[in-house]
Chains A and B, each alone.
Chain A
Amino acid sequence: MEQKIAVKVDDLTVAYNYKPVLWDIDLEIPESVLMAIVGPNGAGKSTLIKSILGILNPIAGSISIYDKPYDKQRQLVAYVPQKGSVDWDFPTTALDVVMMGTYGSLGWIKRPGQKQKKAALEALEKVGMLPFKNRQISQLSGGQQQRIFLARALVQNASIYFMDEPFQGVDATTEIAIINILKELRKAGKTVIVVHHDLQTVPEYFDWVTFLNVKKIATGPVKDIFNDDNLTKTYGINYKVSIQE
């Protein structure tokens, strides 16, 4: 069976101040996979996601989402930024942050109404955060904040989810809760792309993986390509011992 390609990246090069962070990346992500992007610090993992989403401007290359440019396909895509990228002292509540996920489908000027509120409450329920809906966001723990971000992505009801280090600074319970929701999304035919740090959990959590270190090292099913060879190529040291543990 030929799988549809959800995200296609062609010859993508991104530079900060003339120093390439991503170099000539070609990547095809098939529909309905749960994919980890792994690589050392500074490998360009977040940059890759941000470039796909149009948050950064690449110096070369093109991106397509289901064969069309990202601008035309925004509605199909949800994004969970790194938790540290926002100011959690911002005067707003958990529910309100989740509602922000509905803004994309509303477009400019139109305001969220009952329908959007209902969707946001359902998403909060799904991540187990309904009791905290009126809590100011700075009063939430790191794990709870991450769940709020996940709920905000769920409410977008997208086909493709991009998540930048969703497990950073969360407790084990939250990590399991999040990965279960991601697995459910994949089962429902969604494509989930996660910047991930913990190599140990890759085989357990994901079915697809991309090795990245400025250049793309490899991409494919975890069972085929998650091996010492690629790990060594990506990280420059032999990871054999740590993985076999």
Chain B
Amino acid sequence: MNSAQIEIQLIASLVAVACAIPGTFLVLRKMAMISDAISHSILPGIVIGFFITHDLNSPLLIVLAALTGIITVVLVEYIQKTGLVKEDTAIGLVFPALFSIGVIMIAKNANDVHLDVDAVLLGELAFAPFDRLIIAGTDIGPKALWIIGVILLITLTLLIAFFKELKVSTFDKGLATSLGFSPAIIHYGLMSVSSVTTVGAFDAVGAILVVALMIAPAAAAYLLTTNLKKMLVLSVVFGIFSAILGYWVAHWLDASIAGSITTVLGLLFLAVYLFAPNKGIIAVLYREKQQRTEVSLITFLLHLKNHSEVEERHVNHLREHINWQKVRAKKVLDLALKNNMIHIDNNVVSLTEKGETFTSKAIDYIITNEDAQIEDMKDDFFLFRG
């Protein structure tokens, strides 16, 4: 690895972390689409800033772009508040308008400068190491690294200082207000951080990847944990992982770095979506199947409990009477046998003592919904896990 490669990976990782933190809160606030809106509508801010300074890395650019980001949010909220259209429609109205203004400004005025729509949408991480920050004649590293580093530092400081406020206002706006933590301040604070991060990141990775870096790691982390701090840490880890792996994929394929990172993020989310232990789609399907079997089991046990007559408890009768398909009946019978709930003599099924207690307990639970009785049953049966 040469130093340029290390620098690119470092920039990509810092961008990923800086995006993952506000992204986590955007996902929890169900505002993922806002990041998309911001990432596009900051364009006119960047263009105006560029016309004034002729420097893509000028702090004025960041300020102006962040300002257009905030204007986007305000406009979306204003349109939404009229009650005439819903939030998603408002977003869909605002950001293309602002973005197109930016596109026209570039086309009209910046044809011969290093600012074109492709660069804005996709960025070019590979060129980042060429643009150095030189202070008093000394080269102290790529400008992009410094910009995103400073933004990340600010984000981290704000996160640590206002973690409690962010959490309470995200979870329960009403409570936050009544406690005196103005959700409006926190909301616009988060929007400002998102805007500034988007601007800082977009030169390196482009407007589309910024959205992916904000949303995908957080969405994947959301499926894996039930703890906000862990969710933040996981988002950050996923972000860094995708940034570095994406870089090497691009290296091997000789493809766009931004494109590769986004692809890795997409695959990562897909993997989590499929295989997450509790919320993953496979786990959910398995649990549903298991619960169906267990409902059948309880129905079956209940039938046995209610009928002492031999003919009601004959295997063939059960198949007919409860009207299950053969396979399912066998599965339920096997499950009951395996758990020592029933025994079969001459094709007549009876409840064992364990089966009797289990059935009573389960019915009690279903009727009263009191959790205490079934705590010990939870390990064996999905049906009773919340």
| Residues of chain A having any CB pair with chain B under 8 Å | 17, 50, 53-55, 71, 74, 77, 79, 81, 85-87, 90-93, 97, 100, 103-104, 106-109, 111-112, 135-136, 138-141, 143-144, 152, 171, 173
Contact = CB atoms under 8 A, between A and B. Distances in A.
A100 B171 contact: yes
B175 A79 contact: yes
Given A109-B161, A109-B162, A91 B231 contact: yes
B308 to A, nearest CB: 33
A3 B162 CA distance: 41
Given A91-B222, A91-B228, A139-B386, A85 B174 contact: yes
Interface in B141-199: 161-165, 167-168, 170-175, 177-181
- Those 3 A-B pairs whose CB atoms lie nearest each other, nearest first: A104-B179, A139-B386, A136-B226
A55 B177 contact: yes
B369 A141 contact: yes
A55 B174 contact: yes
Contacts of B172: 81, 85-86, 100
A108 B181 contact: yes
A226 to B, nearest CB: 29
Interface in B213-250: 222, 225-228, 230-231
Given A55-B174, A85-B174, A108-B181, A93 B227 contact: yes
A103 B168 contact: yes
B83 interface: yes
Interface residues of B, number: 32
Nearest to A111: B164
Interface in B333-359: none
A61 B179 CA distance: 21
A134 to B, nearest CB: 10
A105 to B, nearest CB: 9
A90 B170 contact: yes
Given A53-B177, A71-B180, A141-B371, A93 B171 contact: no
Contacts of A85: 172-174
B28 interface: yes
Contact of A106 (B164, B171, B226): B164
A53 B164 contact: no
Given A17-B83, A92-B226, A141-B369, A79 B178 contact: yes
Contacts of A74: 178-180
B79 to A, nearest CB: 14
B67 to A, nearest CB: 25
B225 A79 contact: no
B228 A92 contact: yes
B369 A171 contact: yes
A17 B81 CA distance: 9
B28 A90 contact: yes
14 contacts: A54-B178, A74-B180, A85-B172, A85-B174, A86-B172, A87-B28, A87-B30, A90-B28, A90-B171, A91-B28, A100-B167, A103-B164, A112-B164, A152-B175
Contacts of B370: 173
B227 A140 contact: no
Given A100-B171, A103-B168, A138-B386, 20 more contacts: A50-B174, A53-B177, A74-B180, A79-B178, A81-B174, A85-B172, A85-B174, A90-B170, A91-B28, A91-B226, A91-B231, A93-B227, A104-B179, A106-B164, A109-B164, A111-B163, A139-B386, A144-B371, A152-B175, A171-B369
Nearest to B161: A109
Of the listed residues B172, B177, B231, B370, the one surrounded by the most CB atoms of chain A closer than 10 A to its CB is B172
Contacts of B180: 71, 74, 104, 107
B83 to A, nearest CB: 6
A100 B174 CA distance: 12
A107 to B, nearest CB: 8
A108 B170 CA distance: 15
Contacts of B163: 111
A136 B222 CA distance: 13
B165 A87 contact: no
Interface in B352-386: 369-371, 386
A184 B181 CA distance: 29
A230 to B, nearest CB: 29
A108 B324 CA distance: 61
A112 B165 CA distance: 12
A227 to B, nearest CB: 33
A106 B264 CA distance: 42
A100 B181 contact: no
B171 A97 contact: yes
Of the listed residues B171, B175, B370, B371, the one surrounded by the most CB atoms of chain A closer than 10 A to its CB is B175
B51 to A, nearest CB: 39
A86 B171 contact: yes
Nearest to A85: B174
Given A17-B83, A87-B171, A93 B178 contact: no
B181 A103 contact: yes
Nearest to A104: B179
Given A91-B228, A91-B231, A139-B386, A81 B175 contact: yes
A171 B386 CA distance: 17
Contact of A140 (B164, B173, B222, B386): B386
Contacts of A77: 178
Nearest to B385: A139
A77 B179 CA distance: 9
B178 A53 contact: yes
Nearest to A81: B174
Contacts of B177: 53-55
